[in-house]
Structure 1
Amino acid sequence: MAKTPSPCIDVCKFKREGHCIGCSMTKPQKKMFKSLKKDDQREAFIEMLMAQQEVMGRYRHWAVAYDKKCRKKNAKLRVLEGGRAA
């Protein structure tokens, strides 16, 4: 299985109180994700990010774009399939 890709969907406009309008990450969160080496850590980060998006609202577009990115890179994530990170 391929490495868990970054949740970034290449929008990168930090206009929502320091959060990207594409993925909801802050600049420190983007930096943190890059430092995560283990897939279970990356999946847990994605799960946290999805919870953050739920609280903030207006991020329904992200799941579709990120799922497409994952399929293109042949990566399967339990959190996108309704499961939880290990």
Structure 2
Amino acid sequence: MSDTELDRWADAPSPCVDVCKYKRQGRCVGCAMTKEEKQSFPQHGSGAAKKEFIEALMARLAESTRNPAFWVMAYQRKCAMEGVACPIGAEGE
């Protein structure tokens, strides 16, 4: 992974997309995280730690009955609103 890519991941905001409604097994309907996972997201962690966290979340979304593309679009919008480069491309990677 290049330094530029790691920097993009290091600047990544939380995967929370500000829906915050917990229904499915205690998981948010917006981002599929539990309250504990939202609190444990490495706010100031390394790019590699954030990348691992978000990739695990995307894998969970892909395994569920939900389409991860909806979360990706919401997350890209969040990154744009926060003025940071989104580490996730249009295809979800």
Regarding TM over 0.5, the answer is yes
Q: Could you tell me how far apart the structure 1 residues matched to 2:92 and 2:33 are?
A: 21
Q: CA RMSD in A?
A: 2.2
TM-score w.r.t. length of structure 1: 0.79
Q: How many residues align?
A: 82
C-alpha distance after superposition, 1:21-66 (max 9, x if no partner): 0000011111110466112211111101000111122244211010
Work out which structure has the larger RCO, using CA pairs closer than 8 Å and 6 or more positions apart in sequence. 1
**Unmatched tracts of structure 2, length 5 or more:** 1-6
Q: By how many angstroms is 1:76 displaced? A: 3.4
Equivalent residue number for residue 57 of structure 2: 49
Which runs of no fewer than 5 residues in structure 1 stay unpaired?
none
Once the two structures are aligned, what percentage of the paired residues are identical?
40
Counting strand residues as a fraction of each chain, which structure ranks higher? 2
Question: Runs in 1 of length 4+ with deviation above 4 angstroms?
Answer: none
Contact 1:15 1:21 in 2 (8 A): yes
